[in-house]
Amino acid sequence: MSLTTEIFETLRDVQGTSYRMIVIKIVNDQAKHAIGSQIEFMRVVTEDGTSISPFDLYLTFDQKEFIGYFTTDAFSGITGTVDIVFGYGDDILETIESININAPGVIAGLPPLLSSQSYQNANNFWLSNL
């Protein structure tokens, strides 16, 4: 499986307001992700075994991209590396290992066009109050 991982900030409209959030996108360049009859999952797993799941996740129509949306503070406090695990039901399709999620440049910031717009932060407090 040939995978590309992209981690970046984006703006997304939620109930008429733009919110800044973090996206993890896993692209299979060679083929479609194997589809099971169960619900897909993505988890960011820390060195101590803590698991962080996106608050929204979907597989694109062409079945080549897993896209997970995380709050802006989902990875705060993490030291060391993380693994990104994804699959369906109980079946792990792939693990992307040893990403230093908080190292400078790992999470690409908002592009200038988006950063000049008005937005709110989609943080854990915001998520708990939805």
pLDDT of residue 36: 59
> What's the average model confidence in pLDDT over 46-63?
91
| CATH number assigned to the domain covering 3-110 | 2.60.40
Q: What is the pLDDT of residues 98-118, one digit of tens each?
A: 999 999 999 999 999 999 999
pLDDT of residue 59: 85
pLDDT of residue 37: 58
Element (H, E) at 128: helix 124-128
Kindly report whether the global pTM for this prediction surpasses the value 0.75. Answer: yes
> What's the average model confidence in pLDDT over 86-96?
86
Q: To the nearest whole percent, how much of the chain has pLDDT over 70? A: 95
> What's the average model confidence in pLDDT over 42-71?
92
Are the C-beta atoms of 60 and 47 separated by less than 8 Å? Answer: no
- How far apart are alpha carbons 77 and 6 in whole angstroms? 21
